[in-house]
Chain A
Amino acid sequence: MEKNKLIRVEDLSKEYKMGEVTVNALKKVSFDINEGEFVVIVGPSGSGKSTLLNIIGGMDTPTEGKVFIGDEDITKYNDKSLTSYRRDKVGFVFQFYNLMANLTAEENVELATEICKDPLKIAEVLESVNLSDRKGHFPSQMSGGEQQRVAIARAVAKNPLILLCDEPTGALDYKTGKSILSLLNKINKDYKKTVVIITHNSPISKMGDRVIKMRSGKIVDNKVNENPISPERIEW
């Protein structure tokens, strides 16, 4: 079966100035991502993967190149269109969870769904991340893994096209990290969401349908993994 291309990145470059030095974070990067794929972008820190993720997520703009989401080139978007793109099509998961401290787990999720067109049922999403009994807790009352699960629920409940995860296990211990990866895997399968994870932790790439390796702003490898293994079996 021919899969639909969801994301098409063409000759994407990003330069930014840090003081007097110009940094080429991305150098003419091109690749495609299919609908429903679980993609792992792996590379050492400073390889440009976060910049790439931010541009795909509509949080940053490239210096050159194009990013198509379906047929739309989001690099042509103005600030307003980018905002509604983020609102309706993208879900973000961050390394440090970034929950609102004075909102409960449930309220953090509601904060995201309040402004979406077609959100999922919050109770269901919280159930699927296994947090139904913790929904009334504030972030400070939860462990890192629990907070990250709230963050995933927040991203998923928006019912986005793409789930973008920036080092989702970076701040977590081995066991919790694995459970988060399982959860993301489950969401990819159950909700049929395209999931893009970036990580510097290369063993994680074994679970991806597609693995993109980056170094110094370039893609050094991009291949389809015919036999992804379940996160439970990954060791690092």
Chain B
Amino acid sequence: MKKLDLRLLRLIKNSKGQFIAITVLIIIGLIIYTGLSMAAINLEESIDTYFNRMNFSDLFIEAVELSDGDIEKIQQITDVSKVEGRIVVDVPFKDEDQDAKVRLISQGKDKEINKLYTVKGDKNIEKKEVLMLKQFAEARSLDVGNDITLEIGGKDIIFTIKGIVSSPEYIYLMEDEQSLLPTPKKFGVVYMDEKYLEEILGYSGVYTEALVTSKNTENLEVLKEEIEDQMKGSKIRRIYPREDQLSNRMVHEEIKGLKQVSSTIPLLFLGVAGIIIAALISRMIRNDRMSIGVMKSLGYNNRKILAHYTKLSLSLGLIGSVIGILLGSLLANQMAKMYLNFFNIPFLEGRFYPEFTLYGIILSVMFCVLAGLWGARKVLKIDPAESMRPDPPKKGGRVFVDRIGFLWRRLNFSEKMVFRNIFRNKKRFIFLSLGIAITFSIVIMPFAMLDAMNTMFDKHYTDFQLMEYNINFNRPMTGDVIEDIKEELQIGKIENKIEYPFEIINEEKEKVVTIIGLEENTEFYDFTSVKGDDIELPKKGILLSEGLAKVLDLEEGDNIEIKTFNNDENIKVEVKGIIRQSLGSNGYMNISQMREEFIGSNITTGVYINSDEDVKNRLDDLEYVSFIQSTKDMINIYMEFTDLIILSLGIMLLAGGILGFVIIYNSTIMNIAERRLEFSSLRVLGLSKKEIFKIVTKENAIMTITGILLGIPLGLYMIKYLESMYSTDIYTLRVDISLLSYLGSILATVIFVIIAQLATYRKIKNLDFIEALKNRIT
């Protein structure tokens, strides 16, 4: 082995703590990079395969009713490859313990679009047999051969489960946009023989939905418009492309999130590793000045010497990336397994993608080598003759605090030293303070996210929505039903509502959302404007949720068009306000305007109820009630969900902690090494180890405070970035950091500083000051 390489190895061995710390950063960076990148690709490719094999629909058509003729008409459109009608109805699932809602979907042997994947049992069903979606079956502990009771058309019918299936349409099982979270116990999907379903529902040749595959998948919007044109006057409610299909969208949000995290966080870790490497090497160069002079006098050229130091960073990069990639691949595998709990993808597997190994190595080596070269650049400037002489003493002089006479006079000797040290080594001071600032800003993020999650749900279910029960009817009813319900429930408040999906159009932009019609002076919603002022539901006009207004680029006072499908003309409505809504995106209108202008008089699709009575049991028997959702249940579901979030936030906190520790540990160790002579002189003057440690502690304390003060705006900036990253049109993240979170993050940062300090204390304790003063060799 070349003697210089040998020197390098021994150098690494002597300060292994620092090198391990840096390597850990690189490892974490690459674990996240390879792990999440591979997880994202795994998901993406598995879904593609799944969609291809199951022939996932390109367009989804929802209608009040579609006849055989309508289907035939759509089939005639040039770009349509295949169209299939189907019946979809939501019905109550009867169970002794806990009722649920299931979506009944008609199924037949001839179906070619959105084919089902049989997990267990048999796909061929007859009259009283059903196929059940895996997630629901698992949540309910149901299996092939079990009987279930469904209430269809007011009658309880018993069915036998013939098979357990997965569907490309329900990878992520959510009832609708409003649900936010999957509740597989409370909402399921069941497939039933089409002929039999027609029979019991009394439908014949009538469908409620159609699935369309296109010959030209590039331009589904065009096809969508063409179908809309052709089908004008029919009872179509909405048409949407596969990108907007709920489950598909949720999975793609997840993939997008993975990709975003895998392309930002690793850069942060590698960047910090790079900065530390650069600082470490530049410090080594300073200490090695004489050795470099010797190397030059021996005839080593600049390239060789630069390579000597860069090899150090290169080896850190290589070691870190290899370990990181190995662990990252394991993580990708684990994540694939974890996703199986969330997503029902039969072909999901944790594949290994060698290209990410390559990218990862290139990425980290690039960072490390550049950092190494940057740190070592001063090698070029070292003049061999000059370097043989001892370093001239550092420039002294009065510092800023020095000039404030009355303050300066109050300081004792060691305090004066603290200030002089800080002000004379501005670079070191800035580096450490920034390190602490970064630590703080990373640490505060998980706290802030937790706050945000809490506010999101809390605000939504306690401040914004004030109803205890949200009840949907299985078909539009007239307003008289409210009297019916009132008879069942003596006490409580009750209001009619209309919930219908419509397409809202603002010039080029359009979006299908549920518009909710509410009674004037509704007591079940509390609207606040984006600025935080109270807003009343207007008599005429619409209120839009923040996320929706953003997507459609709308402001208060703008006019929108609402496409209603059964009217030829779109209805123009003025935006009367933009409101805060953390979950879901909706429009809100006065129920009477909706009835008058586009629904039909006296129509209602459900009610809101506040009552102390056992609403569920009382209303269960009403034939037209399809679903009763209680806010309490929603909050409970959220609580379960929070446990999961806390776990991932904990991981984030840990990562932030490691990052912070490495920054602080390395900079204090470098600091001590640089100041060996200074400390030794102080020891010779008679200062005890404790007193020196006190000086260092005071310096660090000032830097910690500065760092935290800098960290607050930095953290807020990063949180703003997170807000925009995680806010979708389905939920809007708004972070109000609580005092407790601030305190928590400050405490965590201080703890990281203290741990790093302990390492410093050990170094001071072991400092052999006579040796340090005597020995000028490096």
- Measured CB to CB, the residues of A under 8 A from B are 50-51, 54, 57, 59-60, 79-80, 83-88, 90, 92, 94, 96-103, 107-108, 110-112, 114-116, 139-140, 154, 158, 166
Q: Tell me the nearest residue of chain A to B389, going by C-beta.
A: A50
Task: Give the interface centre of B3, B300, B301, B388 by most chain A CB atoms within 10 Å.
Answer: B3
CB pair B300–A115 under 8 Å, yes or no, is yes
Point out the residues of chain A lying under 8 angstroms from B304, CB to CB. Answer: 115
Point out the residues of chain A lying under 8 angstroms from B385, CB to CB. Answer: 50-51, 54, 59-60
Q: Tell me the nearest residue of chain B to A60, going by C-beta.
A: B385
CB distance from A220 to the nearest CB of B (A): 23
CB pair A103–B7 under 8 Å, yes or no, is yes
CB pair B299–A114 under 8 Å, yes or no, is no
CB pair B777–A112 under 8 Å, yes or no, is no
CB pair B299–A101 under 8 Å, yes or no, is no
In the complex, which of the residues A50, A86, A87, A100 contacts B7, with contact meaning CB atoms closer than 8 Å? A100
CB pair A92–B777 under 8 Å, yes or no, is no
Point out the residues of chain A lying under 8 angstroms from B294, CB to CB. Answer: 92, 94, 98-100
CB distance from B237 to the nearest CB of A (A): 78
Q: How far is the CA of A87 from the CA of B305 in the complex (A)?
A: 14
Does B10 count as interface, using CB distance less than 8 angstroms?
A: yes
Q: How far is the CA of A158 from the CA of B775 in the complex (A)?
A: 27
Q: Tell me the nearest residue of chain A to B304, going by C-beta.
A: A115
CB pair B388–A84 under 8 Å, yes or no, is no
Q: Tell me the nearest residue of chain B to A80, going by C-beta.
A: B301
Q: How far is the CA of A107 from the CA of B7 in the complex (A)?
A: 9
Within 8 A of A (CB), among B375-426: 383-385, 388
Does B146 count as interface, using CB distance less than 8 angstroms?
A: no
Does B4 count as interface, using CB distance less than 8 angstroms?
A: yes
Point out the residues of chain A lying under 8 angstroms from B775, CB to CB. Answer: 140
CB pair A102–B298 under 8 Å, yes or no, is no
Q: How far is the CA of A79 from the CA of B296 in the complex (A)?
A: 11
**A to B CB contacts below 8 Å, 7 in the list:** A51-B385, A59-B297, A83-B301, A98-B777, A107-B3, A114-B2, A115-B300
Does B214 count as interface, using CB distance less than 8 angstroms?
A: no
CB pair B7–A166 under 8 Å, yes or no, is no
CB pair B298–A87 under 8 Å, yes or no, is yes
CB pair B298–A115 under 8 Å, yes or no, is yes
Knowing A96-B777, A101-B778, A114-B2, say if A86 contacts B383 (CB, 8 Å): no
CB distance from A174 to the nearest CB of B (A): 20
CB pair B776–A114 under 8 Å, yes or no, is no
Does B31 count as interface, using CB distance less than 8 angstroms?
A: no
Within 8 A of A (CB), among B350-391: 383-385, 388
Point out the residues of chain B lying under 8 angstroms from A116, CB to CB. Answer: 299
CB pair B297–A103 under 8 Å, yes or no, is no
Q: How far is the CA of A116 from the CA of B300 in the complex (A)?
A: 10
Point out the residues of chain A lying under 8 angstroms from B2, CB to CB. Answer: 114
CB pair B7–A98 under 8 Å, yes or no, is no
A94-B388, A96-B776, A102-B7 known; 12 other A-B pairs, CB under 8 Å?
A: A50-B385, A86-B296, A86-B297, A86-B299, A98-B291, A98-B294, A100-B778, A101-B291, A103-B10, A110-B3, A115-B304, A154-B298
Knowing A84-B299, A112-B298, say if A139 contacts B777 (CB, 8 Å): yes
Q: How far is the CA of A88 from the CA of B775 in the complex (A)?
A: 30
Point out the residues of chain B lying under 8 angstroms from A85, CB to CB. Answer: 299
CB distance from A109 to the nearest CB of B (A): 9
Q: How far is the CA of A154 from the CA of B3 in the complex (A)?
A: 13
Point out the residues of chain A lying under 8 angstroms from B777, CB to CB. Answer: 96-99, 101, 139
Point out the residues of chain B lying under 8 angstroms from A140, CB to CB. Answer: 775
CB pair B296–A59 under 8 Å, yes or no, is yes
Point out the residues of chain B lying under 8 angstroms from A100, CB to CB. Answer: 7, 291, 294, 778
Does B317 count as interface, using CB distance less than 8 angstroms?
A: no
- Measured CB to CB, the residues of B under 8 A from A are 2-4, 6-7, 10-11, 14, 290-291, 293-302, 304, 383-385, 388, 775-778
CB pair B291–A88 under 8 Å, yes or no, is no
Knowing A98-B291, A101-B777, say if A83 contacts B296 (CB, 8 Å): yes
Point out the residues of chain B lying under 8 angstroms from A54, CB to CB. Answer: 384-385
CB distance from A57 to the nearest CB of B (A): 7
CB pair B3–A98 under 8 Å, yes or no, is no
Q: Tell me the nearest residue of chain B to A55, going by C-beta.
A: B385
CB distance from B93 to the nearest CB of A (A): 74
Knowing A54-B385, A60-B385, A111-B3, say if A98 contacts B293 (CB, 8 Å): yes
Q: Tell me the nearest residue of chain A to B293, going by C-beta.
A: A98
CB distance from A60 to the nearest CB of B (A): 4
In the complex, which of the residues B6, B14, B296 contacts A107, with contact meaning CB atoms closer than 8 Å? B6
CB pair B298–A158 under 8 Å, yes or no, is yes
Q: How far is the CA of A145 from the CA of B304 in the complex (A)?
A: 30
Point out the residues of chain B lying under 8 angstroms from A108, CB to CB. Answer: 3
Q: Tell me the nearest residue of chain B to A85, going by C-beta.
A: B299
A-B complex: 8 closest residue pairs judged by Cβ atoms? A87-B299, A102-B10, A54-B385, A111-B3, A60-B385, A59-B385, A86-B299, A59-B384
Point out the residues of chain A lying under 8 angstroms from B384, CB to CB. Answer: 54, 59-60
Task: Give the interface centre of B14, B290, B293, B294 by most chain A CB atoms within 10 Å.
Answer: B294
Point out the residues of chain B lying under 8 angstroms from A90, CB to CB. Answer: 297, 299
CB distance from A24 to the nearest CB of B (A): 17
Q: How far is the CA of A116 from the CA of B293 in the complex (A)?
A: 17
CB pair B388–A98 under 8 Å, yes or no, is yes
In the complex, which of the residues A79, A88, A98 contacts B299, with contact meaning CB atoms closer than 8 Å? A88
CB pair B388–A83 under 8 Å, yes or no, is no
Q: How far is the CA of A92 from the CA of B3 in the complex (A)?
A: 19
Point out the residues of chain A lying under 8 angstroms from B7, CB to CB. Answer: 100, 102-103, 107, 111
Q: How far is the CA of A111 from the CA of B3 in the complex (A)?
A: 5
Q: How far is the CA of A101 from the CA of B304 in the complex (A)?
A: 19
CB distance from B292 to the nearest CB of A (A): 10
Point out the residues of chain B lying under 8 angstroms from A84, CB to CB. Answer: 299
CB distance from A167 to the nearest CB of B (A): 11
CB distance from A79 to the nearest CB of B (A): 8
CB distance from A168 to the nearest CB of B (A): 13
Q: How far is the CA of A101 from the CA of B300 in the complex (A)?
A: 18
Q: How far is the CA of A99 from the CA of B298 in the complex (A)?
A: 12
Q: How far is the CA of A59 from the CA of B385 in the complex (A)?
A: 5
Q: How far is the CA of A106 from the CA of B383 in the complex (A)?
A: 26
Point out the residues of chain A lying under 8 angstroms from B778, CB to CB. Answer: 100-101
CB distance from A216 to the nearest CB of B (A): 19
Q: Tell me the nearest residue of chain A to B386, going by C-beta.
A: A60
Point out the residues of chain B lying under 8 angstroms from A107, CB to CB. Answer: 3, 6-7
CB pair A111–B383 under 8 Å, yes or no, is no
Q: Tell me the nearest residue of chain A to B8, going by C-beta.
A: A102
CB pair B301–A103 under 8 Å, yes or no, is no
CB distance from A186 to the nearest CB of B (A): 22
Knowing A96-B776, A98-B293, A98-B777, say if A103 contacts B299 (CB, 8 Å): no
Task: Give the interface centre of B6, B302, B383 by most chain A CB atoms within 10 Å.
Answer: B6
CB pair A103–B388 under 8 Å, yes or no, is no
CB distance from B684 to the nearest CB of A (A): 21
Q: Tell me the nearest residue of chain A to B299, going by C-beta.
A: A87
CB distance from A108 to the nearest CB of B (A): 8
In the complex, which of the residues B4, B11, B290, B776 contacts A111, with contact meaning CB atoms closer than 8 Å? B4
Knowing A97-B777, A166-B388, say if A86 contacts B298 (CB, 8 Å): yes
Q: How far is the CA of A97 from the CA of B301 in the complex (A)?
A: 21
Q: How far is the CA of A79 from the CA of B299 in the complex (A)?
A: 11
Point out the residues of chain A lying under 8 angstroms from B295, CB to CB. Answer: 111
Task: Give the interface centre of B2, B297, B778 by most chain A CB atoms within 10 Å.
Answer: B297
CB distance from A198 to the nearest CB of B (A): 12
Point out the residues of chain B lying under 8 angstroms from A99, CB to CB. Answer: 294, 777
Knowing A59-B385, A97-B777, A98-B290, say if A103 contacts B6 (CB, 8 Å): yes
Q: How far is the CA of A166 from the CA of B389 in the complex (A)?
A: 12
Point out the residues of chain A lying under 8 angstroms from B388, CB to CB. Answer: 94, 98, 166
Knowing A96-B777, A98-B291, say if A83 contacts B299 (CB, 8 Å): yes
Point out the residues of chain A lying under 8 angstroms from B291, CB to CB. Answer: 98, 100-101
Q: How far is the CA of A54 from the CA of B11 in the complex (A)?
A: 29
Q: Tell me the nearest residue of chain B to A95, going by C-beta.
A: B388
Q: How far is the CA of A60 from the CA of B293 in the complex (A)?
A: 12
Point out the residues of chain A lying under 8 angstroms from B11, CB to CB. Answer: 102
